[in-house]
Structure formats: structure tokens, C-alpha cells
């Protein structure tokens, strides 16, 4: 479902009528969702369906690096998408110049580079800790909170660093998103036509829904990294974060977006004829 939904978004947003920065960012977001599901879900299904529940040390390092990289990149991309909506609503006359092709590519590249830095630092730090526990991860993929429970060293310094990183990766972009939408709502309220207000806000509501889902699950997982009493809750939140939200994103953006629905219907009609 995740692959089909996000691949459809990638195909639909290539349509000539959707060649705008918003749909370019949406296409990148769908690619990141596909990558996240590909890193987590196959190994999870193998673990569920077979007796082999092991993962190599290198496999665990690789999985953690990829998950952190994709999650951090996605957060910075969501901030870039909020800036795009701010430019479209609050600076409509200068919008083509502000969100040029070069600017869009630069924002995506900056998101990826920032995600890579965060991932390298977090992965190197967590695997520098001595892991002398039972070597059994009470989780369905290699993530920071369950790995910290395996360490016999004092991890209080790392936990403080992780909270700071969470603030940098999640809360800072979230604050920038809130500022962008405060400006957007202020501009929307000044529009005289009720129909125009509704149409303008509908282009932003899908993005707000996705941001809320990511922020709620991400902060609850990483703000208390070594709380063993909440591991079951964290597993549910991690499942939502890595598998449910990537599946819901195409539905959120397509069902609440008239342009995407129209192109999707046309694409599906052509596919059925073939």
C-alpha cells in the first residue's frame, strides 16, 4: 500500500499541469516515504514470518543510519514545504522568483545534507557506547531508544544530547512551520471572498495534517529515550512513524487536493484502458 500510493503520487505529480514547487516537494516527500518503508518493513516482515529474528551488527548500524537520515531529511523538507506555501500565499507576485527551480533544488539538497549530518553524528555516537546488555532489541527495527537500553555505561550525557538533537531536528522546523502558517492564516483572513479563503486554506491543510502526525509521534519517541516503562508505547508510535504515516501521506494529499484528484482520475482511466 505504501509503495503503490507513493508511486502514484510520483507519477501523478510529473503531469504537466502539476509542474509547480508544491508538487515537486510532494514528489520528493513520496520518495522519502518509499525509502523509509523499504528500510524498515521488509526486515520487519521477515522477522514476523520466519524463525530468524537476528540482525547483523553492520545491518543494525546501516538501518539506524538510514532511518535517522530519512526522518531528519523529511522534517527539513516539511519546513521547506511550509516556506513554499508562505511564499505562495503571502508573496504571490514574487512567488515565481522566490521559489525558482534553483531555489527548490537548493532546499531539497540542504535538507538532505542536514539529514546526513544528523544521521552520521547520532549513529556514530550511539554505537560508540558499550553494548553489553542481552543483545536483544525490544523493537521491530534498530532505533536509538532500544539500543540505549542495551548499554551498560552511563548514557545520561547522550540522552541530553539526543533531546537537544530532537529539538534541533523536530522542534526547530516545527516552530518555523508554525511561524509560516501564522503568516498564512493572517493573509487568508484578509481575503474578502469566502470561497477564495477556503480554496487557499485547503492547499495548506494537508501539509498541516502530516506535520502534526510526524511531530506528535517523533517527539514522544525521542524526548525520553531510555524510559523502559514506555517501550510498548514507543513501539506503537514508531510503527505509526515508519509505516502508517508513509501509507497515509498519499491519501491525505490526494483526497484533500482537487488538482491531484483530477490528474489521478485521468491517469487511472488511461491505465485501465491499457
Taking the mean position of all CA atoms in its chain, how far away is CA 105? 18
User: Given a cut of 80, is residue 144 above it in pLDDT?
Assistant: yes
User: Which range (37-46, 149-158, 220-229) has the least confidence?
Assistant: 220-229
Q: Give the pLDDT confidence score for residue 133 in this predicted structure.
A: 67
Answer with the residue of higher pLDDT: 149 or 29: 29
Q: What would the mean pLDDT of 13-34 be, rounded to a whole number?
A: 86
Please state, for a pLDDT cut of 70, what percent of the chain lies above it: 93
Decide which of 269 and 91 is more confident: 91
Q: What is the pLDDT of residue 107?
A: 95
25 has pLDDT over 80: yes
* Distant-in-sequence, close-in-space partners of 233: CB < 8 Å, separation ≥ 6: 220
> Environment class of residue 51 by beta-carbon count within 10 Å: exposed (0-12), middle (13-18) or buried (19+)?
exposed
CA dihedral 182, 183, 185, 190 (to 10 degrees): 140
pLDDT of residue 198: 72
pLDDT score of 134: 74
What is the mean pLDDT of the segment spanning 129-145? 83
> Is 80 exceeded by the pLDDT of residue 202?
no
List of domains in the chain: 1-272 (1.20.1070.10)
Q: What is the pLDDT of residue 158?
A: 85
What's the CA gap between 142 and 203, in Å, rounded? 36
CA distance 178 to 67: 25
Say if CB 69 and CB 119 are below 8 A apart. yes
Query: Within 10 A of 109 (CB to CB), how many other CB atoms are there?
Result: 10
Within 10 angstroms of residue 232's Cβ, the number of other Cβ atoms is 9
pLDDT above 90 as % of the chain = 27
Residue 197 zone, left/alpha/beta (φ > 0; ψ -120 to 50; rest): alpha
Q: How many CB atoms lie within 10 A of CB 267?
A: 15
| Residues contacting residue 185 through CB under 8 Å, at least 6 positions apart | 201
Confidence of residue 64 (pLDDT cuts 50, 70, 90): very high
pLDDT score, position 220: 78
CA 76 to chain centre: 9
Which of 158-167, 190-199, 247-256 has maximum average pLDDT?
158-167
pLDDT at residue 225, as a whole number = 62
CA-to-CA distance for 61 and 27, rounded, in angstroms? 28
Mean local confidence (pLDDT), 232-238: 83
Q: What cell was used for 4?
A: 503503490
Amino acid at each position: 500500500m505504501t509503495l503503490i500510493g507513493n508511486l502514484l503520487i510520483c507519477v501523478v505529480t510529473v503531469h504537466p499541469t502539476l509542474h509547480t514547487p508544491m508538487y515537486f516537494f510532494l514528489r520528493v516527500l513520496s520518495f522519502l516515504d518509499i525509502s523509509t518503508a523499504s528500510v524498515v518493513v521488509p526486515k520487519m516482515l521477515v522477522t514476523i514470518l520466519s524463525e530468524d529474528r537476528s540482525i547483523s551488527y553492520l545491518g543494525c548500524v546501516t538501518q539506524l543510519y538510514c532511518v535517522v537520515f530519512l526522518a531528519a531529511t523529511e522534517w527539513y523538507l516539511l519546513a521547506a514545504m511550509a516556506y513554499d506555501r508562505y511564499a505562495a500565499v503571502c508573496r504571490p507576485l514574487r512567488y515565481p522568483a522566490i521559489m525558482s527551480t534553483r531555489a527548490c533544488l537548493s532546499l531539497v539538497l540542504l535538507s538532505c545534507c542536514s539529514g546526513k549530518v544528523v544521521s552520521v553524528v547520532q549513529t556514530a555516537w550511539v554505537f560508540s557506547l558499550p553494548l553489553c546488555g542481552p543483545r536483544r532489541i525490544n523493537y521491530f527495527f534498530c532505533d536509538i531508544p532500544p539500543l540505549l537500553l542495551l548499554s551498560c555505561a552511563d548514557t545520561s550525557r547522550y540522552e541530553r544530547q539526543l533531546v537537544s538533537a530532537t529539538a534541533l531536528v523536530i522542534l526547530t522546523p516545527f516552530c518555523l512551520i508554525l511561524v509560516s502558517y501564522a503568516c498564512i492564516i493572517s493573509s487568508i483572513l484578509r481575503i474578502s471572498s469566502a470561497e477564495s479563503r477556503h480554496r487557499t486554506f485547503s492547499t495548506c491543510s494537508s501539509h498541516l495534517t502530516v506535520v502534526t502526525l510526524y511531530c506528535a509521534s517523533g517527539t514522544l519517541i525521542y524526548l525520553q529515550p531510555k524510559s523502559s516503562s514506555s517501550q510498548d508505547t514507543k513501539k506503537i508510535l514508531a510503527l505509526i512513524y515508519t509505516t502508517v504515516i508513509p501509507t497515509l501521506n498519499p491519501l491525505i494529499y490526494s483526497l484533500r487536493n482537487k488538482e491531484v484528484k483530477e490528474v489521478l482520475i485521468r491517469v487511472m482511466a488511461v491505465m485501465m484502458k491499457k
